[in-house]
Chain A
Amino acid sequence: MIEVTDLSYQYGPLKALDGVSFSLPKGKVVGLLGPNGSGKSTLCLCLAGMLDRKGSSGEIKISGQDLGSFAPEELALKMAVVFQDNLFSFDFTAYEIVLMGRSPYLRPLQPERPEDHLIAKKAMRDCDCFDLKDRPIRSLSGGERQRVVLARALAQTTSVLLLDEPTNHLDLKHQKQILSLVRELAESKEVLSVVVLHDLNLAGQFCDHLLLLDQGRLVKQGTPEEVLTPENLNPVYQINVHKIYHPVTGRPQIII
């Protein structure tokens, strides 16, 4: 569904991505891992079509069509993005924010239809932020805001989700909840989710496929079992790790 061939991105003198290639099918949860500066966010932004075409070389294809050939309104029907920073200048209510996720389906003067409201409300329930719906967005905590923005992305009902560090401000309960939700979407609706994660263990628990980046290069990709090994991780994270297995799920986990 997403095919990346030899993608490089240059920020002036800095090469943020260097010859990255991978192919992601639908219905999977893919984790993007790597230390700070490895190019995870840059890759995420490239996949979202946010970065200037000038600095990039290589190919990105969504469902066989070149990313650059999509107009923003077409891309928005296929792909939803949750960014790392969410700064709000005005006090929309949480519900109004989530409802904005429906705008790719609406014409400029067309008001939201009943189904749009249904989808928005369901998305909020799924993200456990429905009780926040009438609160002004700027009065919410970081974690609450993140759940609202996630709900907005879900309300966009796309087949691809790009999530840039969605668990950053969330407490344990909500971290599990969001990633379980993403898993469920992959299994029941064949949604491809690409999630940038810091937490290796969450990655191990919830992802089908992992991409390990280091200084712009894709050093390893594969299942969590294949990627989460001391041989792969030690040189990248510059620390000695140990691998154990989750007592219930049997998934690989990393301890330092």
Chain B
Amino acid sequence: MKRSPYLISLLFLLGCSSQPRPQGKMTLTINDDLGRTVSLNQAPSRVISFAPSLTEMVYALGGEGRLAGVTAWCNWPPQAKEKTVVGDMMSPNFERMVSLKPDLALMIGSRPGPLLKKFEALNIPVLCFKDETVADIQRAIKVLGQVLESPSRADSLTREMDLQLAAIKAAVDLVPMEQRPKVFAELGTSPLFAAGDSSFIGQMIALAGGINVTGNLPSSYAAVNPELVVKNDPAIIIVLHPQASKEQIAQRLGWQNVSAVKKGRIYPGLDQDVILRPGPRFTEGLKILHGIFYAP
């Protein structure tokens, strides 16, 4: 669907916030990840992003001019930090949001929640994206590409992702399962927090050619007994929180014989923004992990 820039600017000049949007020719209908159908009468120009991953996507698609509000956690690219902060999913600042007169809100969610209902009550169109798998990321990029009028950039982004994924997959596939390193991803210390296979980090580990020792947890994330780590004997420990240093982990009681401890393969201080964030840079995270797992 093509839109004439002239018409858009005309509408822009005519349509100040207090006036109703003209019903008309350019209607964009999107189905978001929750199955909701959202109709936009024109390309949005005042977008609010409620997730750092979505903010990164907006910038990657060249849509920063349309971005009006972000969360306090949106730190990439650095310019994003200068945008107005509208709170975050846990504590949204509705006043500030409404004062920005948004015409679209972007949020993450796998099921409808009170935040969504609030937006609907305020008559702000909302697009909900899932962020649990690689497919989710790519789909979100494609949808945003449509909305932000840069579908070709979306295509090239996703193509690039596919290429990088394929490259890593090729390298990983060469390694038989028994030889792949066992990995423990520590997300917290007290209590010991780990991720299951269904979590995003769990998938990252698998894609990067590692075997998650806490893979079969009943939920995506859970507190685990340190015994499990000792029993499953990971070769690599990646520390995804700031509260434990390599020395601290090495002197934990009962962990002395864990392969990762014995060989010193404990990796704190990783860039969590590329490893944990299901955004357009996740392939960088994959490369980092792959590099750690298969270091010579």
The answer to whether A and B touch directly, with their CB atoms under 8 angstroms apart, is no
